[in-house]
A and B are shown apart, each in its own frame.
Chain A
Amino acid sequence: MTDSAGVVIIGGGVNGTGIAYHLAKKGYTDVIVLEKSYICSGASGRNGGGIRQQWSTKENIKLAIESTRMFEELQKELDTDLEFKQGGYLVLAFTEEEVEQFKKNVSIQNEMGLDSKFINPEEAKELVPELNISKVKGATFNETDGTIYPFKVVHGYAKAIKEMGIDVREHTEVLDIEKNGDEITAVKTNKGTIKTDTVVNAAGGWSKKVAEMLQVDLPNKPYRHEIMVTEPYAPFLDPMVISFHHGIYFSQSEHGNIVGGIGNPNETEGIEQRASLWFLKTMAKTLVEFVPRFKGMNMLRQWAGLYDTTPDAQPVLGPVPEVKRFYQVNGFSGHGFMVSPVVDKVTAELILGETPSMDISDLSITRFEDMDIEKEYSVVG
């Protein structure tokens, strides 16, 4: 069977479905979304749902501010409760260098219109009374940051795009992409070939593999990142608490569960999504160091997903020089959910040849040819 589509999107995560959603909203529905497993099976169904605008580079701040605003709207558009809880993000500093960097971050953030502030450890304790601040040197706080329930966003998109007439195919894996010169001609899947000239690579941790099908070399590397959820408890933690120093983050969901993760500095590159004992032990210990009262909690589940990381910890977006109409929406380096609304909207605009509502050309793959790229420092895990 051969069929065809104006646009083929590879990946049924928040970005794949989100781009389809923005295309459909503009009236363009000649789109097929391909997902090798099920919707939300990638990082989009495995993340912490953190929405943070406190970043160190202008690009990320800009993307995150606009996206946060769009998430608020999305709730109304999709007419579902996305459990978007704006309890703020409390970013803890544990070294003098962090204090310096955080102060710089806040001034850039303020310059960009964000209301974040630098606070001292005692003020941090007022926000989270149970917090152990003995080693905390300072913190930043922004009250419009928060958490969202990822499944509801992605399934909300998926339902909406299907209703608007977009073809979503689960358990359909892209095996190869064919081209003629620098023009894409077709996408080959395990369930047949689809003729198309436009492909979006929103394959998360598998993006590098997908780009290789067209001999495009992405600098992205997949790394496992682990996360856990506890049993539900009475609400007592408003903000998401994070520390870049420890690579840890944790928040309390609407249901009362603590959700959090910690990065393993010895993690090796590769597609590995099994849970580790290292995580179980380290997460439990570190959580209790942060909030001693946590010692009475039980962990319910742990799991892992992939961070699709780039050398500067910023995403790869937009077209590539080698192949026409091959759009990248990947390399999110562990923060792709929170910036997805604006990224997906702008990608849809680029595909349709419209003037993008935000300039994201700085995040094109060509930046890596340049040697002095600006690295994002505020990366957790």
Chain B
Amino acid sequence: MPDNRIKEHPVLDFDRGKEIYFEFEGKKIKAYERETIASALYANGIHQFTESKKMHRPRGFFCAIGKCSSCIMKVNGIPHVRTCITPVEEGMKVERHSAQPEIPEIEPEPYPEPEEKEVEIAVVGGGPAGLSAAIVAAEFGGDVHLFDEGDSLGGQLVKQTHQFFGSHKAEAGTRGIDIGTDLLEKAKEMGVKIHHNATVLGYYPEMTLTVDAGGKLEIYHVKGIVYATGAIENYLAFENNDLPGIYGAGGVQTLMNEQGIIPGRKVLMVGSGNVGLIVSYQLLQAGVDVVEVVEAMPHIGGYQVHASKIRRAGVPINTRHTIVKAKGDYEVESAIIQELDEDWNPVPGTEREIECDIICIAVGLQPDNHFLRQAGCDIEFVRELGGFVPIRNKDMETTVEGIFVAGDAAGIEEATVAVLEGRLAGAAIIQRLYGTSEDTQKEKEKAREGIEQMRKGPYGQMPRRGVKVCTIDEEVC
């Protein structure tokens, strides 16, 4: 079997942990204890994880962060397990299953009453926004529980090997990965109770959360919630867009920068926003060939510095181009790209076939906030923020009292703003529960100032306009 694990990387060291073995459809497979099932399979050259419901088409992973169900498999007899966020274990049995698997036989007591607990503050999501909110709320004395469905925390930050150069002093020049690790350390230090592999399933009136804690249902009655689940990657419609080998940019980052596994040999990047450009550069760093970047807009979407870096490395960026088709029987073998005219229609005769085994989709993100809709928060479509977002006040509190939102879940921006929004929400939730104080007020003002600063830059214009239409001019206290 091939081994697609990265052996040497200019910036990253991969601490994969102990070597272990598990079983995939009867075959013994080598893995490392810090890998997920999906990445261990991928490292061994297995790219098809499931099949589509009706047409039985092969499917690989897509998001690699538990948000798309494209990677569900049968694990130790239980079907529908999201293998991209499930850690691999010694002796585990993993199989593919059809769209309609048998109901598994489970032996233990059918109905242990779910455990019900009362805690003060629940933070949902352990990315930069969630961690920051948890840290600040804990600093001000809150009893904070943080839930994340992943095995490791840090959210999208731990995948960012590049240096941040936001105008916010604190983080400029630091690599995202280090910011993520620092936040996690700080949260632990502050006494935040961290729940890994814990998926928050839903919200129930009033202020109750259900949590899938590794297959066990837990119920939390809380006083306040900060919701910071980040974003979901956008998808593109084109022929054969479900072939294994077509992955979200975030998915590629997770596989490559977090798990240390190369996604393939030759990549077509779709989208030249900062994510597309940065991931292209990261692919080059990992020794992967980026054949071309296509961009539907007439100009490059991201920062010039990022574009120049990959151009210098010889990667062409073709604006006014899009992907129209992927080719391959079981996996991507090539892609057809085509030029677009001024009305965004493909120009006949300009089709070009590009040989590649990976098509990386980097066409933006949309806020992940289904939970807030379930909780009855008012939601508004704000194009500038990437889609449907909750209406919030100046303290990031939604229209349901006691439920706050921060980071990409509130609107697509970037990590520094996510940190600051988290801090703002962390201080504000303390005010909501215990009333205002000079310190919490100061913290809020500092965070808001930082956000203002960030939104003054050229790329802050969009979110700046966006938040205007969905922010109510009020504070918690």
CA distance A302 to B99 in the complex (A): 21
Q: Is B349 an interface residue (CB 8 A)?
A: no
- B277 to chain A: closest CB distance in Å? 37
Q: Which residues of B contact A288 (CB under 8 A)?
A: 110-111
CA distance A338 to B203 in the complex (A): 32
* Max count, chain A CB within 10 A of own CB: residue among B105, B110, B114, B208: B110
The answer to whether B106 touches A233 (Cβ under 8 A) is no
Q: Which residues of A contact B111 (CB under 8 A)?
A: 284-285, 288, 295
Of chain B, the residue at the smallest CB distance from A252 is B100
The answer to whether B219 touches A277 (Cβ under 8 A) is yes
CA distance A302 to B204 in the complex (A): 11
Q: Is B55 an interface residue (CB 8 A)?
A: no
Q: Which residues of A contact B287 (CB under 8 A)?
A: none
Q: Is A377 an interface residue (CB 8 A)?
A: no
CA distance A255 to B205 in the complex (A): 31
| Given A274-B205, A277-B219, A292-B110: A256 touches B99 (CB 8 Å cut-off) | yes
Contact of A295 among B53, B98, B106, B219 (CB under 8 A): B106
Q: Which residues of B, 118-172, contact A by the 8 Å Cβ criterion?
A: none
* Max count, chain A CB within 10 A of own CB: residue among B53, B103, B202: B103
- B190 to chain A: closest CB distance in Å? 31
Contact of A275 among B98, B102, B105, B202 (CB under 8 A): B202
- A338 to chain B: closest CB distance in Å? 26
The answer to whether B53 touches A232 (Cβ under 8 A) is yes
Q: Which residues of A contact B79 (CB under 8 A)?
A: 231, 233
Residue interface bits A262-292, CB-to-B below 8 A is 1, else 0: 0000000000001111001100110010001
CA distance A274 to B114 in the complex (A): 21
**Interface class of chain B by DSSP:** loop
Of chain B, the residue at the smallest CB distance from A302 is B202
| Given A276-B204, A277-B219: A235 touches B100 (CB 8 Å cut-off) | yes
CA distance A231 to B103 in the complex (A): 10
Q: Which residues of B contact A235 (CB under 8 A)?
A: 100
Residue interface bits A289-303, CB-to-B below 8 A is 1, else 0: 000111111100010
The answer to whether B103 touches A293 (Cβ under 8 A) is yes
- A193 to chain B: closest CB distance in Å? 27
Q: Is A234 an interface residue (CB 8 A)?
A: yes
CA distance A225 to B78 in the complex (A): 31
CA distance A285 to B111 in the complex (A): 8
**Interface class of chain A by DSSP:** mixed
Q: Is B101 an interface residue (CB 8 A)?
A: yes
CA distance A20 to B355 in the complex (A): 52
CA distance A284 to B105 in the complex (A): 16
Of chain B, the residue at the smallest CB distance from A278 is B204
Q: Is B58 an interface residue (CB 8 A)?
A: no
The answer to whether B204 touches A294 (Cβ under 8 A) is no
- A57 to chain B: closest CB distance in Å? 36
The answer to whether B105 touches A296 (Cβ under 8 A) is yes
Contact of A255 among B53, B104, B114, B374 (CB under 8 A): B53
Of chain A, the residue at the smallest CB distance from B81 is A298
The answer to whether B99 touches A294 (Cβ under 8 A) is no
Contact of B374 among A236, A256, A274, A292 (CB under 8 A): A274
The answer to whether A232 touches B204 (Cβ under 8 A) is no
CA distance A294 to B104 in the complex (A): 9
The answer to whether B100 touches A234 (Cβ under 8 A) is yes
The answer to whether A277 touches B210 (Cβ under 8 A) is yes
Q: Which residues of B contact A236 (CB under 8 A)?
A: 103
CA distance A326 to B205 in the complex (A): 38
The answer to whether A234 touches B205 (Cβ under 8 A) is no
The answer to whether B102 touches A234 (Cβ under 8 A) is yes
* Max count, chain A CB within 10 A of own CB: residue among B102, B106, B204: B204
The answer to whether A296 touches B219 (Cβ under 8 A) is no
- B80 to chain A: closest CB distance in Å? 5
The answer to whether A276 touches B106 (Cβ under 8 A) is no
Q: Which residues of B contact A274 (CB under 8 A)?
A: 204-205, 374, 376
The answer to whether A233 touches B101 (Cβ under 8 A) is yes
Q: Which residues of B contact A294 (CB under 8 A)?
A: 103
Residue interface bits B65-106, CB-to-A below 8 A is 1, else 0: 000000000000011100000000000000000111111111
Q: Which residues of A, 277-335, contact B by the 8 Å Cβ criterion?
A: 277, 280-281, 284-285, 288, 292-298, 302
CA distance A297 to B110 in the complex (A): 11
Of chain A, the residue at the smallest CB distance from B104 is A296
CA distance A285 to B113 in the complex (A): 10
- B448 to chain A: closest CB distance in Å? 32
Q: Which residues of A contact B110 (CB under 8 A)?
A: 288, 292, 295
Of chain A, the residue at the smallest CB distance from B100 is A256
CA distance A292 to B104 in the complex (A): 12
CA distance A280 to B219 in the complex (A): 12
CA distance A274 to B208 in the complex (A): 13
Contact of A298 among B80, B208, B376 (CB under 8 A): B80
CA distance A284 to B110 in the complex (A): 10
Q: Which residues of B contact A233 (CB under 8 A)?
A: 79, 100-103
CA distance A285 to B104 in the complex (A): 17
**New contact pairs (15) apart from A293-B103, A295-B106, CB-CB < 8 Å:** A231-B79, A232-B100, A233-B103, A234-B103, A235-B100, A236-B103, A255-B53, A274-B205, A275-B202, A277-B208, A277-B219, A281-B114, A295-B110, A296-B78, A297-B103
Can you offer 19 A-B residue contacts whose CB atoms are under 8 A? A231-B79, A232-B100, A233-B101, A234-B102, A236-B103, A256-B100, A274-B204, A274-B374, A275-B374, A276-B204, A277-B219, A280-B204, A281-B114, A284-B111, A285-B111, A288-B110, A293-B105, A295-B110, A296-B78
In order of increasing CB-CB distance, the 6 nearest A-B pairs are: A256-B100, A295-B110, A296-B104, A277-B204, A296-B106, A234-B100
